[in-house]
Amino acid sequence: MTIQKVCILGAGTLGSRVALQAAISGYTVSVYDIHEKALDFGFQTMKKILSQLEKGKLLKEAQEKILSRIYFTTDAEKAIQDADIVNESVTEEVEVKKEVWRKFGKIAPKKTFFTTNTSYMLPSMFAEESGRPEMFCAFHFHDVFYSRVVDIMPHPGTDPAMIPMLEDFGRKLNQVPVLVQKENPGYIFNTMLLALIGAAGKLLTGEVGSVEDIDRSWMVNFHMPMGPFGILDSIGLDTAWHVTKNRTDSASVAFAKHLKSYLDQGKLGEKSGEGFYTYPNPAYKSPDFIQ
Amino acid sequence: MTIQKVCILGAGTLGSRVALQAAISGYTVSVYDIHEKALDFGFQTMKKILSQLEKGKLLKEAQEKILSRIYFTTDAEKAIQDADIVNESVTEEVEVKKEVWRKFGKIAPKKTFFTTNTSYMLPSMFAEESGRPEMFCAFHFHDVFYSRVVDIMPHPGTDPAMIPMLEDFGRKLNQVPVLVQKENPGYIFNTMLLALIGAAGKLLTGEVGSVEDIDRSWMVNFHMPMGPFGILDSIGLDTAWHVTKNRTDSASVAFAKHLKSYLDQGKLGEKSGEGFYTYPNPAYKSPDFIQ
């Protein structure tokens, strides 16, 4: 099977980026969302990324050609028409995702492969709902352009032949495919990132080190542009709190409480202008920070 | 107090690097070891680093001038004579370190500050032995030239005035000082690194991902030159096993067992030519690895 048409469900931050990359890679793309406003957000996001991404490299004309391959619609039937593969990036709520898969399972052509871009759920939670569990797999992007890993995570019922197909498709999307051999919440990268962030949180709430000294340690020793608290600010403290609050060990409980105290003050990280640092010029970006 | 003379105890890998950096920074340095052979190893290490470090930058003459500031001796009295500060990098064994501190506590001038460069022990384990606990603090380097964090970790009896003094001294040694506010095995960076490595080990032994895919995830998303298993190979699997085997959670137990199976085959990582990868050309350094 050759993939020609890609259908993206959900025009949020990640869905838009996957759709844009698919169009850059030459695919025909449909982007479906229930809200016209979301589609407009997606279109604006793509235009912004295109102009940043290819600064001075891509002519206006080429940018327009890429965008012309993307069709935005609130009409599910039109979105799925002739699609070879679906990648779903709708809200991270079980019931919402289940409903979407029930709906598209009914109207999709028989040939269409189904993939979910969920960050913290598992494909087995939706595979049966889709009506074609053997053609269902997680296919999870990070941010597409800077962090180019794509996780391929089958559930026990996925046809193994889907894996090489997705590896090939992932490479065509300029990603580095990684096989998650069995279902694991957080895949591979997020599992490690959460361990790092958990350790940083424990050092902070245990009063072993300051936010700045913890970040500094990571940045200087690994020559990285940000440390765990800078990363948390960019992920969003609300997202971090949602993940941390479900853990029951004492370090996670203490850190969730700490994160909540930021949320209660409206400090969500970079997007709200303040988190562990203040934006748009956080201290960790200053050359003085690591001297 | 102005530091002019630095005394390094132990001419191993880390001691040699600290001594060399102190000489580069203009200090007079004595390097003490009980073995002549160790001193020779230290001298060769320094010459090698100097030639790599300053390739084409530093004239032969300047290199010789730096080395001329370093005095190597197996004579404890001569090593400690007139020293303003000691940094101890002897074998990571409690009794060995205690003996060294008892010895130097007796013969050191009254003005001499004592610091330990221990990686996994705590300053309070040796402070009393030294006879001057208030002048005793951990001052821990990573690799001095690439990873330039220096941890300052007081024990409860350390005179707080030592902290700004060590911060200043650390900066003069071209390091980024980080304050570890209370005693913590592994300081700040190693605590986070171990959490990352523990998560990677759990993903491997749980058969969620391969060595390569776990490393790839970290390298690609964070644009890093190596992932957790590449890092483990450079640390040494023997060191990693020593740290892991003391942990009692099931993931650590499984990973310690896994590491032990490598050790039993003589695979210690980069230094033995094989670990998770084979050296000198490990797969993760190939451009193909992340494509």
* pLDDT tens-digit map of A28-38: 999 999 999 99
In this prediction, residue A55 carries a pLDDT of 62
Cis bond leading into A156, ω under 30°?
no
- In this prediction, residue B56 carries a pLDDT of 56
| pLDDT band, very low/low/confident/very high, at B101 (cuts 50, 70, 90) | very high
| Gap between the Cα atoms of A122 and A190, Å rounded | 14
Tens-place pLDDT, residues A145-154: 999 999 999 9
pLDDT at A61: 83
Q: Nearest 5°: phi and psi at B221?
A: -70, -35
Question: Would an 8 Å CB–CB cutoff place B247 in contact with chain A?
Answer: no
pLDDT tops 60 at residue B189: yes
Fold of the CATH domain A189-290:
N-(1-d-carboxylethyl)-l-norvaline Dehydrogenase; domain 2 (1.10.1040)
Do strands B28-32 and A70-73 pair parallel, antiparallel, or not at all (unpaired)?
A: unpaired
Would you call B199 an interface residue with chain A, using a CB distance cutoff of 8 Å? Answer: yes
Q: Are strands A28-32 and A5-9 parallel, antiparallel or unpaired?
A: parallel
Name every residue whose Cβ is closer than 8 Å to that of residue A265 and which is 6 or more positions away in sequence: none
The 10 Å Cβ neighbour count of residue B209 is: 27
Sign of torsion, CA A93 A116 A157 A190?
negative
> CB–CB of A170/A149 below 8 Å?
no
Tokens for B246?
């003391």
Q: Does residue B54 carry a pLDDT above 70?
A: no
Helical residues (DSSP H) of chain B, grouped into ranges: 13-24, 36-53, 60-68, 76-80, 94-107, 162-172, 189-205, 211-222, 228-235, 237-244, 250-264
Nearest residue to B171 (alpha-carbon basis) of A23, A87, A288: A288
- The pLDDT value recorded for residue A54 is 62
Write out pLDDT tens, residues A67-94: 999 999 999 999 999 999 999 999 989 9
Q: Tell me what pLDDT residue A212 has.
A: 98
- Contact assignment for A222 to B224 by CB distance below 8 Å: yes
Q: Which two tokens stand for residue B10?
A: 């132990």
| Residue B114 CB contacts under 8 Å (≥ 6 apart), including other chains | B85, B86, B88, B101, B104, B105, B108, B130, B132, B135, B136, B137
**What is the rounded distance in angstroms from the CA atom of residue B60 to the CA atom of residue B83?**
28
Of A176, A199, A224, the CB nearest to B222: A224
Question: A249-283, pLDDT tens digit by residue?
Answer: 999 999 999 999 999 999 999 999 999 999 999 99
Residues of chain B with C-beta less than 8 angstroms from the C-beta of A284: none
DSSP SS3 for A291: coil
Q: Please give the share of chain A, as a percent, with pLDDT higher than 70.
A: 98
Q: Where does the pLDDT of residue B62 fall: very low under 50, low under 70, confident under 90, or very high at 90 and above?
A: confident
CB-defined contacts A:B, below 8 A = 131
What is the ipTM for the molecules in this complex?
0.94
Taking the Cβ of residue B161 and every Cβ of chain A, the question of whether any pair is shorter than 8 Å is answered with: no
> Is residue B182 within 8 Å of A207, Cβ to Cβ?
yes
pLDDT (average), residues B139-162: 97
Residue A16 pLDDT grade (very low, low, confident, very high; cuts 50, 70, 90) = very high
Contacts with B, A 88-147, CB within 8 Å: 142, 147
Local confidence band at A1 (pLDDT 50, 70, 90 cut-offs): confident
CB spacing of A188 vs B180 below 8 angstroms: no
What was the pLDDT predicted at B55?
Answer: 61
3-state secondary structure of A85: strand
Average pLDDT of the residues in B124-129: 97
CATH architecture of A5-179: 3-Layer(aba) Sandwich (3.40)
Task: Delimit the domains of chain A by residue range.
Answer: 5-179, 189-290
Whether residue A178 lies within 8 A of chain B, CB to CB, comes out as: yes
B20-44 pLDDT, tens digit per residue, is 999 999 999 999 999 999 999 999 9
| Per-residue tokens: A180 | 């998650």
Percent of chain A with pLDDT over 90: 91
Among candidates B181, B182, B220 on the partner chain, residue whose Cβ is nearest the Cβ of A149: B220
Residue A114: CB partners within 8 Å, gap ≥ 6? Answer: A85, A86, A88, A101, A104, A105, A108, A130, A132, A135, A136, A137
Q: Does B168 touch chain A (CB under 8 A)?
A: no
Please tell me which of the candidates B194, B208, B222 has its beta carbon nearest to residue A180.
Answer: B208
- Residues in chain A within 8 Å Cβ distance of B209: 178-181, 188
> Which of B151, B166, B189 to probe the A interface (max A CBs under 10 A)?
B189
Tens of pLDDT, residues A186-239 = 999 999 999 999 999 999 999 999 999 999 999 999 999 999 999 999 999 998
pLDDT band at A53; cut points 50, 70, 90: confident
Name the average pLDDT for chain A. 95
Give the pLDDT of residue A10: 97
Beta bridge partners of residue A152, listed in sequence order: A139, A179
CA angle A88, A90, A94 (to 5 degrees): 100
Put simply, the answer to whether B180 touches A214 (Cβ < 8 Å) is no
Closest-CA residue of B relative to A176 is: B291
CA distance B243 to chain A (A): 16
SS3 call for A217: helix
| Cα–Cα distance, A283 to B144 (Å, whole number) | 24
In sequence order, what are the residues at sequence separation of 6 or more whose Cβ sits closer than 8 angstroms to the Cβ of residue A214?
A200, A203, A204, A227, A228, A229, B188, B192
Quick check: B181 and A221 CB within 8 A?
no
Q: From residue A31, how far is each of A11, A78, A83, A126, B109 by CA, in Å?
A: 7, 10, 11, 20, 76
**Given pLDDT bands bounded at 50, 70 and 90, which one contains residue A51?**
confident
